[in-house]
């Protein structure tokens, strides 16, 4: 196969894989927060929940990579809130990436069903943030220009790493982390819970087990999680590691 054709084919395959990964996680987060899945092709969000008054943008990354957040997209979402919705959320979904093998399991998947099965098996953590916290992260971390985002376009982005940036909220350094962002920890509710979600897609069931970490306004937290029946004492509320 000529090199030019091979390169175009590989780009198309990566684009298809990225789209399928996005579809899986949009479905997964929808099963957690409710609402309806929206098309991302009109520059809208991935999930809209009119009843509870929020939208969600879903991002995904392997645990040996970082999350890339588009600055221009985030700005559009900030301009949409609070009217007519109460807030805008980001769901950052992490899955176990490649180990000693040079090729990831995702790169070997030939069908959507196979890809969904791998993602369901390897998803380990999901972080549900209010957009105001991500906005504070951008101010702290700064933006990188000319970096690729999920749709293959070059934009200004800021990157977030699990260990360096995110996990500090739940590893005993919450107050320090919030102070470094210029935010008050008392204005937010933090929590974590082990979840098992069964996705039904195309007649197949995909079972995903993962830890959900949340950093939300107390009012949104109450509205969102009173609709879920978590096991007693499993959800850890503000002030508890």
For residue 180 the two structure tokens come to 């470094």
- Domain residue spans of the chain: 3-225
CB 44 within 8 A of CB 80: no
| 169 vs 127, more confident | 127
Q: What is the pLDDT of residues 27-50, one digit of tens each?
A: 999 999 998 887 543 557 899 888
Residue 53 has pLDDT above 80, yes or no: yes
In this prediction, residues 215-232 reach a mean pLDDT of 75
For residue 65, CA distances in Å to 27, 120, 161 come to 22, 18, 7
Beta-bridged to residue 160, according to DSSP, are: 67
Tell me what pLDDT residue 99 has: 53
Identify the residue whose tokens are 């939208």.
55
Is 134 strand, coil or helix?
helix
Residue 78 pLDDT grade (very low, low, confident, very high; cuts 50, 70, 90): confident
CA 19 from chain centre, in angstroms, equals 14
Residue 124 has pLDDT above 90, yes or no: yes
Residue 232 pLDDT grade (very low, low, confident, very high; cuts 50, 70, 90): very low
């Amino acid at each position: 196969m000529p090199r030019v054709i091979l390169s175009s084919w590989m780009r198309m395959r990566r684009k298809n894989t990225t789209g399928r990964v996005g579809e899986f996680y949009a479905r997964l987060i929808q099963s957690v927060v409710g609402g309806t899945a929206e098309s991302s092709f009109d520059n809208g969000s991935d999930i809209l929940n009119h009843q509870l008054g929020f939208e969600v943008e879903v991002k995904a990354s392997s645990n040996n990579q970082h999350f890339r957040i588009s600055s221009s997209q985030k700005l559009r979402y900030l301009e949409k809130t609070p009217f007519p919705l109460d807030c805008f959320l980001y769901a950052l979904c992490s899955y176990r990436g490649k180990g000693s093998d040079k090729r990831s399991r995702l790169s070997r998947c030939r069908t959507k069903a196979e890809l969904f099965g791998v993602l369901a098996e390897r998803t380990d953590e999901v972080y549900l943030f209010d957009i105001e916290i991500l906005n504070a992260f951008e101010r702290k971390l700064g933006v990188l220009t000319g970096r690729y985002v999920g749709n293959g376009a070059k934009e200004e982005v800021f990157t977030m790493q699990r260990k360096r940036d995110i996990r500090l909220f739940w590893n005993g350094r919450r107050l320090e982390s919030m102070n470094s962002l210029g935010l008050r920890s008392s204005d937010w509710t933090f929590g974590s819970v082990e979840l098992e979600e069964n996705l039904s897609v195309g007649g197949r069931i995909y079972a995903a087990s993962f830890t959900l970490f949340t950093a939300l306004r107390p009012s949104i937290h109450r509205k969102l999680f009173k609709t879920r029946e978590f096991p007693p004492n499993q959800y850890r509320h503000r002030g508890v590691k």
